Structure 1
Amino acid sequence: MSTGTSKDALDKLGAPGTGVVVTGGASGIGRATALALAEVGRPVSLWDLAGDAAAEVAAECAKRYGVTTHHAAVDVADRDALARAAGEAVDALSTVGGLVHSAGMVRPDQTDALGTDTWDTVLTVNLRAQVDAVQALLPALRASGPGAAIVGIASIEALIGEGSIPSYVASKHGLLGLVRSLAHRFGPEGIRVNAVCPGYVETPMMAMPLTIDGYRERLEARTPMRRLAQPEDIARAVRFLLSNEASFISGVPLTVDGGVTAAGGQ
């Protein structure tokens, strides 16, 4: 088991040495992203509603890769909680030069998909929280030096539509607009902003639907590569966008879906 990362590995992956905050870091894509970043020597701060689980992932990152870590139980819908966690993360990691907003939710509802409560909750977590997290961490990102970058976890639903989850689809479309706007706004300061649009990923969010008879097979049939993504597939794309190898990439959605949208979802 590795207890550290060589300088050659860091140089190869173009990893800045600054810390990265990962919301939703206790499971799924967030957890995989934290581990992928720790693998190349980046300190990580994990924010999640599940504080104990975030602590476990932080400990795993530290044990496997010898990086500095921080964790906090955070409701990303709570602006004050985000501000407190930002201060703690900067104190713990010394510098924060990256943010990954992986916290997210979907609320399928065939009977009340346009209900106010559904919309307010989903858009707050998936979209507004990224704005609030950026606001809370902006001084640290500005102070971190070259290589500061932000990545939002969107979805292929940011590129297409799905009638059963309009709030989720709207939040992810909105995230792409936010990414483009922030890339324009912060580009002159050297802060890059991008999004990753995953396809069908085997995460805890997908655990229940995947128990439905035939559902996995239908998703695999729609994917030209004939498998579901693993969280690590998405995490490596996020790590790339946060690295110096992506130093002139900003304002773009990077689709990681095994060819689903290229094939029109057929």
Structure 2
Amino acid sequence: MSREFDGKVAFVSGAGGGIGLAIASDLLEHGAYVFAFDLKAEPDALQGHPRARFVQGDLRDSAQVQSIFDAIDKAHNKLDLVVNAAGLCFFERDGSVEKADDAVFAATIDVNLTGAIRVVRASLPLLRKAGGGAFVHIASVVGLRNMENIIDGGPADAYQISKAGLISFSRSIAMQYAREKIRSNTVCPGSISTPMTADIYVDPRRTAAMEARTPLGIIGLPADVSAATLFLLSEKARFITGIDLPVDGGLLAKL
């Protein structure tokens, strides 16, 4: 197994399950020290690992976010890698801006976009101490395009707006801090089987429909998103910043 992240210090939000946990686990496997953050309890996969530290907290609380970066500073005096993987979608309550209530919009934007902003703000001083580093933000193909089935299945406006904002934010970071050797990119998943989407994939008809509209004919896994994320965090991507990498089975290529 490659140890390409030996000695690197990483922060991963949303590491309590799904894509965030896959990324945190893969970073550990490749030698990084990982500070994992999530509102959920610590997953079994991270418990007892000598290079993992899990902090249960809320991205909507600036003080809680700052506290984990204070802990990273105290433990390592630097930070190399930052992954904003936390996200939520109120599948049954999100919808058209005409109908979705303010609470759905506020919670979605606060976690998916403002939470990432809080992480970036708190992490920048530590990335500077390291002499540079890399951000990867987990966005979505719907942040680049509309929901493919927006006409038949309806929109998820709060989620779509939050992910589009995250993509735009990442590009701004990429330009602002490029001369400080700080890179910023997004990974934009398509149909991925995660705990957040579990209720969708319970219905075999919906699963079949998603497979059918994806050119590769399959639904992705958190490991697929993690592989793309680790590439963008690595030195192999040292000349890549400000891009949005779809991990979507070819979905965007046909739109």
2:134 equivalent in structure 1: 149
1:86 to 32, 57, 69: 69
The CA distance in 1 between the partners of 2:214 and 2:99, in whole Å, is: 27
Q: Cα offset for 1:90?
A: 3.1
Q: 1:121-171: CA deviations, max 9, x gaps?
A: 10110001111001111111111124x000100001111123431010001
1:74 equivalent in structure 2: 57
Q: 1:68-108: CA deviations, max 9, x gaps?
A: 12110111111111001111233345532111001000113
Say how many residue pairs are matched. 246
| Kept after mapping to 2: 8 A contact 1:70/1:92 | no
1:250 equivalent in structure 2: 241
* AA at the equivalent of 1:250: T
* AA at the equivalent of 2:143: A
1:182 equivalent in structure 2: 173
* AA at the equivalent of 1:95: K
1:140 equivalent in structure 2: 126
Q: Cα offset for 1:16?
A: 6.1
The CA distance in 1 between the partners of 2:6 and 2:185, in whole Å, is: 17
| Kept after mapping to 2: 8 A contact 1:142/1:189 | yes
| Kept after mapping to 2: 8 A contact 1:203/1:230 | yes
Structure 1: gaps spanning 5 or more residues: none
The CA distance in 2 between the partners of 1:245 and 1:262, in whole Å, is: 25
Q: 1:201-246: CA deviations, max 9, x gaps?
A: 0100110011124011111111111111110010011001110110
Structure 2: gaps spanning 5 or more residues: 148-153
| Kept after mapping to 1: 8 A contact 2:6/2:30 | no
Q: Name the TM-score, length of structure 2 as normaliser.
A: 0.91
2:115 equivalent in structure 1: 129
* AA at the equivalent of 2:30: V
What is the Cα-based RMSD across aligned positions, in Å?
1.7
| Kept after mapping to 1: 8 A contact 2:77/2:126 | no
Alignment pair present for 1:48 and 2:38: yes
| Kept after mapping to 2: 8 A contact 1:25/1:47 | yes
The CA distance in 1 between the partners of 2:52 and 2:196, in whole Å, is: 25
* AA at the equivalent of 2:20: G
2:151 equivalent in structure 1: none
Secondary structure, counterpart of 1:126 in structure 2: helix
Secondary structure, counterpart of 2:82 in structure 1: strand
Higher deviation after alignment, 137-146 or 121-130: 137-146
| Kept after mapping to 1: 8 A contact 2:131/2:180 | no
Distance 1:44 1:217, change over 3 A: same
Secondary structure, counterpart of 1:95 in structure 2: coil
Q: Cα offset for 1:114?
A: 3.5
